Amino acid sequence: MILRLHETKGYARAIDISCGLSVTKPSVSVAMRNLRENGYITVDDDKHIHLTDAGTAIAERIYERHKLLTALLISIGVDADTAEKDACRVEHDLSPETFEAIREKILCWRMTDRRSHRE
């Protein structure tokens, strides 16, 4: 969510995260404290949340999962809103092995689809 907020708004605040995830601000505060203590974020004087290099690496990996899973769900007929929500639910819990298998399968499908369109 922090990465996406930075991409869309140019900044991220706890209230933006709270609204975006439909969770309470105290829940966000606890999560932000944990992320800060683990070196994944910093918070400036204006209360804007910034990802560290380590936080950015993790956020980009999770966001890649999110985009791929959302696209997969939409491609099998799930409406976009539901696909987005469901991708959020599973993107953090997939093992690297499972995600890589899904990613490879989708790439294979895309290549097969491109070849069939050329013929």
Q: What is the pLDDT of residues 22-36, one digit of tens each?
A: 889 999 999 999 999
* Predicted local confidence at residue 101, as pLDDT: 92
* Per-residue pLDDT reduced to its tens digit, 6-19: 999 999 999 999 99
pTM for this entry:
0.76
Looking at per-residue pLDDT, the higher value among 30 and 115 belongs to: 30
- Mean of the per-residue pLDDT values of the chain: 90
Distance CA(14)–CA(41), nearest Å, equals: 12
Question: How far is it, in rounded angstroms, from Cα 43 to Cα 11?
Answer: 11
Model pLDDT, residue 118? 63
Beta strands in the chain (DSSP E): 41-43, 49-51
CA distance 74 to 81: 9
Output the pLDDT for position 109.
81
28 within 8 A of 14, measured Cβ to Cβ: yes
User: Is residue 116 scored above 70 in pLDDT?
Assistant: no
Domains, the chain, ordered by start: 2-51 (1.10.10.10), 57-118 (1.10.60.10)
- Mean pLDDT, range 47-62, rounded to an integer: 94
Q: Are 83 and 74 in contact, with CB atoms under 8 Å apart?
A: yes
State the Cα–Cα distance between residues 14 and 103, nearest whole angstrom.
32
